[in-house]
């Protein structure tokens, strides 16, 4: 059993997540849908297909199949802020899910790592 990482939440739960189910649901709603975040457009689908075709094996571990098209070295959010095309495959790399999750947690301490 562990205590929810949400400040002030005393809930004990038994899952591998850092937040209790209630606070995970709140964070998930605040995050928005894939469409809200810009990941459901035709442009992003093309970015994903081209990136994974170019990088069929994870560019970090070099072992597992790439299943995630990661924006790199500039995040999607920053590419948009700098008026750059976030759907250009030159701004991406293919990663396996474990490497993507580790890289995101380490380099982008927002999203799931943001205390709410």
pLDDT in tens, 55-106: 999 999 999 999 999 999 998 889 999 999 999 999 999 999 999 988 887 8
Residue 112 domain-assigned? no
Shared domain for 13 and 44, answered yes or no, is: no
Shared domain for 63 and 97, answered yes or no, is: yes
Q: What is the pTM of this model?
A: 0.65
Domain span at residue 20 reads 1-31
Contact assessment for residue 3 and residue 10, using Cβ atoms and an 8 Å cutoff:
yes
Residue 94 domain-assigned? yes
Instruction: Summarize pLDDT for 27-66 with one digit per residue, the tens.
Output: 878 877 766 766 778 889 999 999 999 999 999 999 999 9
CA 15-60-57 angle, to 5 degrees, is 100
Backbone dihedral region for residue 62 (phi beyond 0: left; psi -120 to 50: alpha; all else: beta): left
């Amino acid at each position: 059993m562990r205590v929810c990482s949400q400040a002030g939440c005393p809930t004990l739960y038994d899952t591998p997540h850092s937040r209790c189910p209630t606070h995970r649901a709140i964070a998930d709603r605040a995050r928005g849908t894939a469409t809200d975040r810009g990941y459901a457009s035709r442009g992003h689908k093309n970015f994903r297909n081209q990136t994974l075709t170019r990088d069929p094996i994870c560019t970090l571990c070099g072992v597992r199949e790439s299943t995630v098209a990661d924006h790199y070295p500039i995040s999607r959010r920053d590419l948009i802020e700098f008026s750059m095309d976030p759907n250009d495959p030159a701004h991406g790399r293919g990663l396996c899910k474990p490497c993507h999750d580790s890289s995101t947690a380490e380099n982008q301490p927002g999203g799931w790592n943001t205390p709410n």
